[in-house]
């Protein structure tokens, strides 16, 4: 999945990519699968990943420009991008509905008019979100956490990564998190039941108009 071409991507990602226009920031680019496809289509794209190893992998695979930074380190340079892509369920990097709300409000202050965010997540309620099952979701709710809250770490080639938090949001949970951020759902690109979806987020005009 991390190295796959578009034919192996979730349907929502393939169809939502048509919304990418202008200069694109691929947030959490990993090994660069999305950035490489955009380059192939002639789109100007910058890959962004907090992992220096992931950024190096993307560069080695041919992504022309990769920044080994966290999103908040981009700062005012965000204003130079027309589209931000958060594929690979990367809306989850903000860790909670409250984190999603805070991050999107922060982005709204720095992104220019006409900017879109292509934000992917998977509902935690239909068995498609990696690492979650009904028991885990029920335990989250009982503890007052978001249903799609997840604590996870990776084991690869004998190396164990640190624990980190992720969140999967159903569409209704995302819409609730958007309130007051300056963003609204312009379009929603879905796959099948349990598959990821991509919310196309656009900035409201002054006065809260869409």
pLDDT digits (tens, 9 = 90+) for 94-146: 999 999 999 999 999 999 999 999 999 999 999 999 999 999 999 999 999 99
pLDDT of residue 170: 97
Reported pTM: 0.94
At residue 10, does pLDDT exceed 80?
yes
The predicted-structure confidence for 26-76, as pLDDT tens digits, reads as follows 999 999 999 999 999 999 999 999 999 999 999 999 999 999 999 999 989
Distance CA 6, CA 88 (A): 12
Domain ranges of the chain: 6-125+166-203
Distance CA 174, CA 178 (A): 6
Residue given tokens 């202008």 in the structure block: 22
Which residues contact residue 69 at a Cβ distance below 8 angstroms, ignoring those fewer than 6 apart? 48, 50
pLDDT of residue 208: 62
Average pLDDT, the chain: 95
Beta-bridge mates of residue 125? none
Other Cβ atoms less than 10 A from the Cβ of 58: the count is 27
* Residue 50 DSSP code: S
Distance CA 118, CA 190 (A): 12
Phi and psi at residue 206, to the nearest 5°: -50, 135
Residue 173's Cβ-side half-sphere holds a number of Cα atoms within 13 Å equal to 23
The CA-atom distances, in angstroms, between 8 and each of 4, 122, 201 are 6, 17, 24
| CATH pick for 6-125+166-203 out of 3.40.50.720, 3.40.50.150, 3.40.220.10, 3.40.190.290 | 3.40.50.150
Residue given tokens 């380190």 in the structure block: 73
């Amino acid at each position: 999945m991390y190295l796959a071409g578009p034919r192996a991507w979730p349907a929502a990602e393939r169809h939502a990519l048509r919304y990418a226009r202008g200069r694109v920031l691929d947030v959490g680019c990993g090994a660069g699968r999305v950035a490489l496809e955009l380059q192939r289509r002639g789109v100007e794209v910058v890959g962004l990943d907090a992992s220096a190893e992931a950024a190096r992998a993307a560069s080695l695979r041919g992504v022309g420009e990769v920044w080994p930074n966290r999103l908040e380190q981009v700062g005012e340079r965000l204003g130079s991008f027309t589209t931000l892509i958060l594929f690979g369920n990367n809306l989850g990097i903000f860790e909670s509905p409250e984190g999603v709300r805070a991050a999107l409000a922060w982005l709204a202050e720095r992104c220019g008019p006409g900017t879109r965010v292509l934000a992917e997540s998977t509902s935690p309620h239909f068995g498609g979100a990696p690492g979650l099952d009904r028991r885990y979701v029920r335990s989250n709710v009982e503890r007052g956490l978001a249903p799609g809250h997840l604590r996870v770490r990776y084991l690869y080639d004998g190396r164990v990564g640190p624990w980190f938090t992720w969140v999967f949001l159903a569409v209704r949970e995302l819409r609730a998190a958007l309130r007051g951020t300056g963003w609204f759902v312009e379009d929603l690109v879905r796959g099948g039941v349990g598959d990821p979806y991509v919310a196309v987020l656009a900035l409201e005009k002054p006065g809260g108009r869409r």
